[in-house]
């Protein structure tokens, strides 16, 4: 049952390792669950779950695993669970090595103790806290109580663990979108070129000592400017239409970029399908949000790094023809490809991140775009490569 | 079961309303000698908890407030080179003793203290992305080495470490693995009543109901950039009481909205709601099933 819990959590995508599991078992060994399933529930959550985004997964698995006990064993939990736990048939998906390893950790003894304390508790508090099911030494077990049961009688207002788990109050915090955000940020961290600019506020110890010696022991403080990131980033992002399915990775990237405070400057602009004579300052792309593309090019010099995000898949006319904009109100004589060429020429380093798999990069328009910009897949690895192309040594 | 009860237990204090689950998490962290990571919306009392844990355990508390420029090494010790250079130049002190110029940081102080302490590492997510990783070894083994003197500082008593995070940055997995985690959920109306009672005792019950209905309704609005928190609610009630707002007015309006909403866009969004529809909930039932009482 314990292992079911462990693997159940892992299957739900909870990042859970042996280390957390072990501290959970140590906590049980110390009796911190205090013979109550509700406290057991909270203890498990404190030890095993490290982000509120997984609370919902925890509740789900907890309800399933410990409810399964109720269904399969009825009221006589203790011995049957121990028997069940001892039987390797119950873990068909494990290799013998895994089984041996986990056996060491989740010793039967521990499980027995846990359940025994639960049993002790009912016996001692027989008057006040009656659980569903009664004790007694039947051939089916001596504990005879019901960890998933609901307390009847008694004045306690605390709720049963099962009820807490089943309410799944933390559903709102489930944002699978944040799962890889950290990895993305780590990849973006390499987006830096450290230079010493600005006011000299940092003590240069080596220089100070040198100067002081040269000065015959008269202290001569030498200050230098702290190292700061000099990278300025222009983001041009395709929104709407064929980009809609990629909302999640793209919004993750956007979040990561907005929170990357190391950048010296960061400006995002949005477009639909292709860059024409106007880009938009917000993803809503209202008329009031337009900025002439030529203005952007005039304002930003060639040192700016450019990141395009888009699938580069469109009708050929949208890229190559005058008045190619799919929105006729915004039609303009300059074809999109000309704007892309201007951008590629204007800036020193540019990359294109494509959320589509590499296998689909063979559309005519995609190939034309790839001739202008190095293209990378929008994944953690692709992002790392793109960052290298932006700030790394030239190949 | 001999290992039971051989560690200090935190039972809560009169000034802090802690749920039993939180008390368990604190005790679990103490028993396992692991840091307790507290997360939750701003204004849910993460920092205050540390103070009360220290009071409850009868230990002194040290706090280390993390800023964006804080480095992990600062928590251990700082070597004041400039002072030493200066002293050597002006002969105002014995510069041969390098130890005089080593100043222990909060973590170093809590290790070298002669009694067990509560150490609060506040807002760990403010620092650089790699900051928590740089502290792994020190928090695990509770010792570090001062390079300048080749001295080892080893904790005489493992401090009870509490770490708070506002969720501004994701914390590294290796760090999380070592922590006990507790998420302080936003208080439900019942708990909120008790909290308000601490700050505004003897508040009229019907008025409080209206206040809470409006407050939780605001929090349910998904397009708000910044949801109002407990501390803002308490300020708002103060403002309402001072101005003597009538119950009828509160039923159909949200006066002094500036005390609750701190972003211009949010105030605009509420004004927009007034124009379009203008209705506010009057009963708990209007808020949906989660708030049925």
Picking from A32, A221, A259, the nearest residue to B31 by CB comes out as A32
Residue ranges of B 81-100 with Cβ closer than 8 A to chain A: 81-82, 85-86, 89
One domain, residues B125 and B249: no
Burial environment of residue B206 by CB neighbours within 10 A (0 to 12, 13 to 18, 19 or more): exposed
The answer on A370 and A274 residing in a single domain is yes
**Residue A83: pLDDT band by 50, 70, 90 thresholds?**
very low
What's the rounded mean pLDDT across residues B194-222? 85
- Give the pLDDT mean for A46-68: 80
- Chain A: nearest CA to B244, how far in angstroms? 36
C-alpha distances in Å from residue B114, one per residue of A42, B120, B140, B158: 33, 18, 20, 11
Q: Is residue B126 part of a domain?
A: yes
* A333/A320 Cα distance (integer angstroms): 11
Q: Is residue A386 part of a domain?
A: yes
Contacts of B180 in chain A (CB under 8 A): 23, 46-47
Rounded to an integer, the average pLDDT of A240-251 is 75
What is the average pLDDT value for chain A, to the nearest integer? 71
Same domain? B179 vs B210: no
Q: Do A30 and A157 fall within a single domain? A: yes
* 8 Å CB contact of A32 and B183: no
Give residue A162's pLDDT.
56
Nearest Cα to Cα of residue B62 among B104, B120, B108: B120
Residue A214 lies in a domain: yes
Regarding whether B242 and B149 lie in a shared domain, the answer is no
Residue A185 lies in a domain: no
Does A224 lie in the same domain as A107? no
Mark whether B53 and B145 lie in a shared domain: yes
Quick check: is B235 in a domain? yes
Q: Are residues A216 and A241 in the same domain?
A: no
Q: CB distance from A126 to chain B under 8 Å?
A: no
CA-to-CA distance for B240 and B112, rounded, in angstroms? 50
What range defines the domain where residue B209 resides?
189-291
Query: Do residues B220 and B259 share a domain?
Result: yes
Task: Tell me which of B223 and A134 has the higher pLDDT.
Answer: B223
Considering A61-70, A129-138, B42-51, the range whose residues carry the highest mean pLDDT is B42-51
State mean pLDDT over B97-108. Answer: 87
CA-CA distances (angstroms) from residue A195 to A215, A225, A264, A373?
Answer: 29, 9, 11, 27
Distance from CA of A209 to the nearest CA of B (A): 9
Q: How far is CA B70 from the centre of its chain?
A: 18
- Residue A280 clears pLDDT 70, i.e. is over it: yes
Given B123, B157, B184, the domain boundary residue is B184
Contact A30 B68 (CB under 8 A): no
As a whole number, the mean pLDDT across chain B is 82
State residue A268's pLDDT score: 87
| Confidence category of residue A167, pLDDT binned at 50, 70, 90 | low
Task: Let me know if residue B11 belongs to a domain.
Answer: no
CATH of the domain at A287: 3.40.50
Does B21 reach chain A within 8 Å, measured CB to CB? yes
3-state class (DSSP) for residue B110? helix
Looking at the structure, tell me whether residues A61 and A137 fall in a common domain: yes
Let me know whether B119 and B148 are in one domain: yes
Looking at the fold, whether A133 and A101 belong to one and the same domain comes out as yes
Least confident segment among A155-169, B6-20, B137-151, B266-280: A155-169
Q: Is residue A190 part of a domain?
A: no
Same domain, A215 and A253: no
B115 belongs to a structural domain: yes
Same domain? For A280 and A379 the reply is: yes
Q: Is the pLDDT of residue A101 over 60?
A: no
B25 → closest Cβ in A42, A113, A185: A42
- The answer to whether position B255 is within a domain reads yes
Same-domain check for residues A371 and A325: yes
Task: Look at strands A278-280 and A290-292 and give their pairing.
Answer: antiparallel
Asked whether residue B205 falls in the same domain as residue B68, the answer is no
Q: Cα(first)–Cα(last) distance of chain B, in Å?
A: 42
Q: Does residue A157 share a domain with residue A22?
A: yes
Choose the mutation target among B177, B188, B265 for the interface with A, i.e. most A CBs under 10 Å.
B177
Domain count for chain B:
2
Using a CB–CB cutoff of 8 Å, tell me whether A113 touches chain B: yes
Interface contact flag, A203 B81, Cβ < 8 Å: yes
Lowest mean pLDDT among A151-160, A255-264, B24-33, B85-94: A151-160
Closest partner residue to B170 (CB to CB) among A32, A181, A189 is A181
Q: Are residues B35 and B163 in the same domain?
A: yes
Of the ranges A27-31, A152-156, A349-353, the best mean pLDDT one: A349-353
Give the mean pLDDT of A130-143: 31
Inside any domain, residue A85: yes
Mutation site for A-interface testing, chosen from B79, B86, B180 by largest number of A Cβ within 10 Å: B180
Domain ranges, residue A132: 2-174
Predicted confidence band of residue A114 (pLDDT cuts 50, 70, 90): low
Whether this model's pTM surpasses 0.95: no
Tell whether B173 and B218 lie within a shared domain.
Answer: no
Cβ contacts (< 8 Å) between A46 and chain B: which residues?
21, 24-25, 28-29, 180-182
Backbone angles phi, psi at B79, to 5 degrees: -100, 115
pLDDT at position A86 is 45
Q: How far apart are CA A223 and CA A207, in angstroms?
A: 8
Q: Are residues B274 and B239 in the same domain?
A: yes
**Same-domain check for residues A335 and A220:** no
Please state the φ and ψ torsions of residue B180, each to the nearest 5 degrees: -90, 140
Chain B environment of A261 (Cβ under 8 Å):
68
Q: What is the CATH number of the domain that holds B119?
A: 3.40.50.300
Q: Is residue B83 part of a domain?
A: no
Residue in B32, B89, B172 nearest the CB of A217: B89
Domain boundary pick from B150, B169, B184: B184
Does residue A303 form part of some domain? yes
A210 three-state secondary structure: helix
pLDDT tens for B240-287 read: 888 888 777 877 778 888 888 887 878 888 888 888 777 778 788 777
Spatial CA neighbour of B74 closest among B85, B65, B84 = B65
- Residue A80 predicted with pLDDT over 60: no
- Residue B198 burial (CB count, 10 A): 11
Give the separation between CA B28 and CA A23, rounded to whole angstroms.
10
Mean pLDDT throughout A235-242?
A: 82
- Over 60: is that where the pLDDT of A111 sits? no
pLDDT above 70: residue A152? no
Residue A350 predicted with pLDDT over 90: yes
A168 touches chain B (CB under 8 A): no
Number of domains composing chain A:
3
CA A179 to chain centre: 2
Query: Is there a single domain that holds both residue A223 and residue A236?
Result: no
The answer to the question of residue B99 being in a domain is no
Q: Which of residues 169-208 of A touch B (CB under 8 A)?
A: 169-170, 178, 181-182, 185-186, 189, 203, 205, 208
**Order of strands, edge to edge, in the sheet holding A290-292?**
A290-292, A278-280, A265-271, A232-238, A305-309, A349-354, A375-377
Summarize the confidence of residues B131-137 as an average pLDDT. Answer: 86
Q: Pick from B184, B216, B237: which residue ends a domain?
A: B184
Q: Per-residue confidence at A374, pLDDT binned at 50, 70, 90?
A: very high
Rounded CA-CA distance A395/A389 in Å is 9
């Amino acid at each position: 049952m314990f292992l079911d819990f462990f693997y159940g959590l892992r299957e739900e995508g909870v990042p859970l390792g042996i280390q957390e599991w072990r501290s959970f078992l140590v906590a049980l060994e110390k009796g911190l669950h205090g013979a109550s399933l509700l406290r057991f529930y909270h203890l498990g959550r404190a030890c095993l779950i490290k982000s509120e985004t997984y609370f919902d997964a925890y509740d789900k698995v907890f309800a399933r695993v410990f409810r399964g006990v109720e269904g399969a064993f009825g009221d006589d939990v203790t011995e049957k669970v121990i028997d069940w736990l001892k039987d390797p048939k119950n873990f068909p998906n494990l290799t013998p090595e895994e089984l041996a390893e986990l056996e060491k950790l989740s010793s039967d003894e521990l499980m027995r103790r846990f359940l025994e304390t639960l049993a002790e508790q009912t016996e001692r508090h027989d008057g006040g806290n009656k659980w569903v099911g009664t004790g007694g030494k039947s051939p089916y077990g001596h504990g005879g109580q019901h960890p998933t049961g609901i307390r009847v009688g008694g004045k306690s207002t605390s709720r049963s663990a099962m009820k807490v788990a089943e309410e799944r109050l933390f559903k709102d915090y489930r944002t699978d979108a944040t799962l890889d955000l950290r990895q993305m940020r780590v990849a973006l961290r390499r987006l830096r070129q450290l230079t010493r600019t600005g006011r000299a506020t940092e003590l240069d110890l080596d220089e100070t000592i040198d100067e002081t010696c040269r000065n015959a022991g008269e202290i001569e403080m030498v200050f230098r400017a702290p190292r700061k990131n000099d990278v300025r980033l222009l983001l041009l992002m395709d929104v709407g239409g064929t980009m809609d399915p990629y909302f999640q990775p793209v919004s993750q990237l956007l979040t990561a970029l907005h929170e990357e405070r190391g950048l010296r400057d960061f400006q995002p602009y949005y477009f639909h399908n292709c860059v024409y004579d106007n880009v938009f300052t917000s993803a809503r792309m209202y008329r009031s949000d337009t900025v002439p593309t030529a203005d952007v090019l005039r304002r930003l010099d060639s040192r700016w790094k450019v990141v395009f995000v888009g699938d580069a898949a469109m009708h050929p006319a949208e890229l190559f023809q005058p008045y190619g904009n799919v929105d006729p109100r915004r039609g303009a004589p300059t074809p999109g490809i000309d704007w892309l060429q201007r951008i590629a020429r204007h800036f020193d380093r540019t990359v294109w991140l494509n959320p589509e798999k590499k296998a689909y990069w063979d559309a005519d328009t995609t190939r034309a775009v790839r001739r202008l910009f190095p293209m990378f897949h929008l994944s953690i690895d692709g992002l790392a490569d793109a960052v290298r192309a932006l700030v790394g040594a030239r190949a | 079961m001999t290992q039971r009860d051989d560690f200090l237990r935190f039972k809560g204090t009169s000034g802090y309303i802690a749920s039993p689950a939180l008390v368990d998490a604190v005790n679990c962290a103490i028993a396992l000698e692991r840091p307790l990571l507290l997360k939750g919306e701003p204004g849910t009392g993460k920092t205050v908890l540390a103070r009360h844990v220290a009071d409850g355990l009868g230990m002194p508390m040290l706090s280390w407030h993390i800023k964006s420029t804080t480095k992990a090494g600062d928590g251990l010790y700082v070597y004041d080179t400039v002072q030493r250079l200066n002293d050597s130049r002006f002969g105002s002190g014995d510069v041969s003793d390098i130890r005089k110029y080593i100043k222990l940081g909060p973590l170093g102080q809590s290790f070298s203290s002669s009694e067990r302490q509560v150490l609060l590492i506040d807002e760990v997510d403010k620092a650089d992305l790699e900051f928590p990783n740089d502290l792994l070894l020190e928090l695990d083994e509770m010792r570090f080495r001062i390079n300048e003197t080749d001295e080892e500082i080893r904790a005489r008593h493992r401090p009870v470490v509490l770490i708070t995070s506002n969720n501004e940055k994701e914390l590294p997995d290796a760090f999380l693995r070592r922590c006990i985690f507790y998420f302080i959920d936003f208080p439900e109306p019942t708990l909120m009543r008790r909290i308000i009672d601490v700050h505004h005792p003897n508040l009229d019950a019907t008025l409080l109901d209206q206040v809470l209905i409006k407050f939780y309704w605001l929090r349910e609005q998904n397009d708000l950039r910044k949801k109002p928190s407990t501390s803002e609610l308490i300020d708002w009630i103060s403002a309402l009481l001072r101005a003597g707002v009538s119950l009828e007015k509160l039923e159909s309006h949200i006066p002094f909205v500036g005390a609750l909403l701190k972003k211009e866009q949010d105030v605009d969004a509420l004004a927009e709601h007034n124009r379009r529809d203008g209705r506010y909930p009057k009963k708990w039932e209007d808020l949906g099933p989660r708030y049925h009482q």
